[in-house]
Amino acid sequence: MRPVLILASQSPARASLLTRAHLPYDTVVSHVDEDAALAEHGPLSPSDTALLLARAKAEAVASLEVAEGRVVLGCDSVFELDGESYGKPYTADVAVERITAMSGRKGTLHTGHWLVDRGNGETLGEGAVSSADVYFAQMSREEIDDYVATGEPLQVAGSFTLDGRGSVFIERVDGDPNAVIGLSISTLRRLLAARGISPSHWWRPTPQVTTS
């Protein structure tokens, strides 16, 4: 039997969080043009940016035939520093610049969640943002260069990870640490509960078919 939940993301970190929580899911990548989605709405706060992109991803996958009768979750993370939004740096130079600015300071990681329940015929769904303050240690230029050289920060929002090498530089997190990784399991539970779905039901073992 296929899982009820579809994760509209190719993020290994988000997939790992669902796996660790023993929540069965399938992955369907949305292929949303993020720049185009943002251009349609004008300037947004970092929190609203995360929610808008999560919604765009969830609705794109929910429109597919594979989502019929299932629940689709879209997520997106945006890092906020000095009121500015920061997504993935993609290049080493940008990552070095951003991490240098973050060194010894506090930033906020916003993760937007959007859930569409195709089992109830939804097409728009509902969402929520989980935010957490991240406190960074003072980093030397050598440490920053060594970290960027690993390639890890290039493809993640804010140029750091809590579940990888970047954890070495994080002194404290105020808020849901899972949201910093990319998916708040508690937020997902609340969104599911609003639709009468309990993820604990997914832990029930599949009945074994016996033959005589």
Any residues with CB less than 8 A from the CB of 191 and at least 6 apart, and which?
73, 113, 115, 126, 127, 128
Asked about 48 being catalytic, the answer comes back as no
Write the DSSP symbol of residue 150.
Answer: T
CA dist., res. 56 & res. 42, Å (int): 15
Any residues with CB less than 8 A from the CB of 140 and at least 6 apart, and which?
none
State the residue for tokens 């706060």.
Answer: 45
By DSSP bridging, strand 170-174 and strand 126-136 are antiparallel
CA dist., res. 84 & res. 28, Å (int): 30
Amino acid at 196: G
Q: Tell me if 116 sits within 8 A of 125, measured CB to CB.
A: yes
CA dist., res. 148 & res. 150, Å (int): 5
By DSSP bridging, strand 126-136 and strand 25-27 are unpaired
By DSSP bridging, strand 71-81 and strand 5-7 are parallel
Q: Which of 76, 145, 146, 163 is catalytic?
A: 76
- Give catalytic residues, as residue numbers: 76
